[in-house]
Amino acid sequence: MSKNALLKGTLILTLAALVTRVLGVAQRIPLQRILGDEGMATYGIAYNIYGILLIIATVGIPSALSKQIAEYHALGLYHEARQTYRASRDFSLVAGLVATVVLYLIAPFYAVHISHDPDAALSIRAIAPALLLFPLISIMRGYFQGLQFMSPTGLSQVSEQILRVGVAVLFPVLLLGAGWSKEVAVAGASFGAVAGSLGAILVLLYFFRKERGERKKQLVEQREFRRLQRKEIFRRLLWTAIPISLASTAIPLIYFIDSSTVIPLLQGDLGQAGAKEMLGILTGRAQSLASIPPILAIALSSAVLPAVASSFSRGDLGEVTRTGSLALRLTLVTGAPLALYLTAGAFAVNGFLFGDVQGSWVVALLCFGSIFQMVMMTSMAILQGLGKVMLPMWFVFAGIVAKAVLNPVLTPLFGIYGVIVATSAAFVVILLLNMWAIRREVPLDVIGDRLSGFMAASIGLVVVVWLVYQGCVAVLPGGWHPAIYYGLICMATGLVSFPVYGLLLVWRKGLAPEDIRYLPGPVRRICAKIGVGG
């Protein structure tokens, strides 16, 4: 692995994730206006159960495949890598078919008896065909990530999201215009995932054909190789994949618990319609915005697992420490300010995107909790790269138990805010256990003596956002259109707060010189001008 391979791969995946998340949030804006908060609740129910079935269908094989491909290529075992990929590919095709049938059949029962939203049955069935292709898509992405070639994953994610968003917004408009019910319109939005899967698979097939020559050259160079039995391949894959799969269910399972329990827990106080509307705010607004700060963590998790696995397989513990520490530090220093901005500026962002400020405190609290989520995700990938694939599974189980216990305990006391506190508590439990286990294997220097600088920059950002927001509210006319009114506030708070965060971070030494070397060129030049980082 070259010195900057991790950062190059992370940059590609971060840009792709940024585009897809922006498109995802942009999609929610017209959908919320077309379908309303209740319609978004139904939409969220379908997507959350789909996400669980997708993880079960792939059984964590993409991450396990990424890890094994990285190890095989580090040792020059190209034939073994190819055999492992083909076995994984065949498994994904069968698993996709089975998952599609299962999701289609259980849709009515889950909608009526579990989520307490009968309208969700049609939406769940509309999204089911996406499971035909997504296991294969995940396998192909895992293969390329194992080669530390991140462009196919990034471009396939972007193409998937463009088609998904386009269909998800267009179909409800056409269906409602043709006189169909809102239930059918929500199902049309859910069908966007099927269109997205077609876009992703076409991009991945293009890259696979493009790289065929290089793969053949590597196979010829390896004169001696061992033919692996399918039984041996699956045994080794599943030994890694099943724990990784169960570990990766942390966020989908937490959101699945909410989709399944929020309406029953809240309907006593709010009624069926009120509880469903609150779930729509949680899934349609808060969860979509809270998914933005962990963008870098998602990219780092995909890039750091094969990088750590490759270094660890060579016995280079020093490189493991450097890579792991850098990944966690970048996650925290770059992800936290965005989470804090969305927390402090929740009213402005919510009003700008969705036309009103309803549920802004829900958005703020869940976005703050995303700080724990992002560090949890990166630390989990490091632990898996160290070969400790069983531990994250048990740690996630502990977090899910905490969530399942706290939801019914806190929700009657604090309403929807109890649900969000339970979510953050689950992230914290998993994160603490991950860090404890990593430090038993290798030392880490995540933030160290940079903590005071990081805290000063973070507090400065929150204070600036609050002050600028209050100033804008006092000055701007209240009768303006929400998009203009809150859009100007978002622009003002962002243009002031993020530079303040960056300057405080550098001035108070929240970034060390060795960290600054990994920042983009323009940022390095600014740091050099003010005498930081050399």
pLDDT tens readout for residues 167-182: 999 999 999 999 999 8
Do 43 and 186 meet the contact criterion of CB atoms below 8 Å apart?
yes
Answer yes or no: do 201 and 65 share one domain: yes
- Domain end, chosen from 217, 239, 274, is at 217
Instruction: Judge whether 369 lies within some domain.
Output: yes
For the chain, how many structural domains are there in total?
3
Q: Where does the pLDDT of residue 1 fall: very low under 50, low under 70, confident under 90, or very high at 90 and above? A: very low
Give the structural domain span for 321: 249-446
How much is the pLDDT for 421? 95
Give the alpha-carbon dihedral of 122, 126, 128, 133, to 10 degrees.
Answer: 180
Mean pLDDT, all residues of the chain: 83
Answer yes or no: do 457 and 514 share one domain: yes
Instruction: Judge whether 222 lies within some domain.
Output: no
Answer yes or no: do 334 and 395 share one domain: yes
Answer yes or no: do 442 and 454 share one domain: no
pTM greater than 0.75 (yes/no): no
- Domain end, chosen from 198, 217, 236, is at 217
Answer yes or no: do 211 and 267 share one domain: no
Neighbour-count burial of 449, counting CB atoms closer than 10 A to its CB (0-12 exposed, 13-18 middle, 19+ buried): exposed
Number of DSSP helices (H) and strands (E) in the chain, helices first: 22, 0
Answer yes or no: do 203 and 262 share one domain: no
Instruction: Judge whether 338 lies within some domain.
Output: yes
pLDDT tens readout for residues 292-344: 888 766 666 666 666 777 777 777 777 778 777 877 887 888 889 999 999 99
pLDDT tens readout for residues 92-121: 888 889 989 999 999 999 888 888 888 889
Instruction: Judge whether 223 lies within some domain.
Output: no
Answer yes or no: do 423 and 464 share one domain: no
Instruction: Judge whether 363 lies within some domain.
Output: yes
pLDDT tens readout for residues 404-448: 999 999 998 999 999 999 999 999 999 999 999 988 888 887 777
Q: Where does the pLDDT of residue 348 fall: very low under 50, low under 70, confident under 90, or very high at 90 and above? A: very high
Answer yes or no: do 288 and 405 share one domain: yes
Instruction: Judge whether 431 lies within some domain.
Output: yes
How much is the pLDDT for 300? 60
Residues 195-204 have a mean pLDDT of 93
User: b or e along 211-243 (b: 16 or more beta carbons within 10 Å of the residue's beta carbon)?
Assistant: eeeeeeeeeeeeeeeeebeeeebbeebbebbbb
- Domain end, chosen from 446, 477, 498, is at 446
Answer yes or no: do 422 and 378 share one domain: yes
Do 150 and 303 meet the contact criterion of CB atoms below 8 Å apart?
yes
Query: Does 25 score more than 60 pLDDT?
Result: yes
Residues 6-34 have a mean pLDDT of 72
Query: Does 244 score more than 50 pLDDT?
Result: yes
Answer yes or no: do 119 and 206 share one domain: yes
Neighbour-count burial of 456, counting CB atoms closer than 10 A to its CB (0-12 exposed, 13-18 middle, 19+ buried): middle
Answer yes or no: do 265 and 399 share one domain: yes
Cα 273 from Cα 235, distance rounded (Å): 48
Cα 27 from Cα 242, distance rounded (Å): 33
Answer yes or no: do 292 and 397 share one domain: yes
pLDDT tens readout for residues 494-530: 999 999 998 888 787 777 666 666 555 555 566 566 5
Instruction: Judge whether 12 lies within some domain.
Output: no
Query: Does 449 score more than 50 pLDDT?
Result: yes
Instruction: Judge whether 17 lies within some domain.
Output: no
Cα 300 from Cα 160, distance rounded (Å): 20
